[in-house]
Amino acid sequence: MQGIAIHTHIMINTSLSLVRLLQIVSPSSPIGAYAYSQGLEQAVDWGWVKTEAQLQNWISGILLNSVLTQDAPILIRLYRAWGVKDYDRLLYWNQYLLACRDTKELRSEEKILGQGLTRILTTLGLVDLKTFQETSNKNDRSNNNVSICYCTAFSCAGVNWNIDLHSLLLGYCWAWAENQVMAALKLLPIGQSAGQRILSAVGEEMAAGIEACFSKGDDAIAGALPGLALASAAHESQYSRLFRS
């Protein structure tokens, strides 16, 4: 009977962690992610992305050359720093990620989504975020308030809700890819079925590439997306636009 009780307890904790992960990656999460295309709108306007195949190449290219080589390895380090409440390391990787955002719009997006997720998580009782921000602001010599990145808040939720790191990484990548597809459906004459085909293909790339993120050294963390940077920078002054980035 005791063995059954322990097994039931583990299953409940696992199920609850999965539910919490679904909660933070849901498109209905009120952080405003739907308002951003991350340069995709400008790429469509320039004619770089016009078809389903081109869209899949665009999303896959960003996934393989930035999300999995930059964001995911940093998320691993943030997750581990939250686990031991190492606020110095948290601040380092938080600021590092923010510096990796190449344009004004991408940096603004990271900050705004981070603010939104921090607000929600704080409301749900994750006081670590508030403590981290207060400690960082107190120790910041520049006298500027530290902005919590979306990735930093996301990793905090993972630690507090006992979401295993592998699942958290997949959830982060999936939320990003799904938002890109949702933006594309508003910008391109492609249907929902095309969007699902793209998500299916990109999902396979996530699953295949996630393990390599754990062995990537600090010096190897990088993203190389000059086309995205150009599109994002030009989007700041695009004549007519639906999205904020």
Fold that domain 39-235 belongs to in CATH: Urease accessory protein UreF (1.10.4190)
Confidence of residue 40 (pLDDT cuts 50, 70, 90): very high
pLDDT at 34 over 90: no
Q: Give per-residue pLDDT as tens, 133-166.
A: 888 777 665 556 788 999 999 999 999 999 999 9
Q: Give per-residue pLDDT as tens, 114-131.
A: 999 999 999 998 878 888
SS3 161: coil
pTM score = 0.92
The pLDDT score that the predictor gives to residue 15 is 87
The pLDDT score that the predictor gives to residue 4 is 39
Q: Give per-residue pLDDT as tens, 86-105.
A: 999 999 999 999 999 999 99
All structural domains of the chain with their residue ranges: 39-235
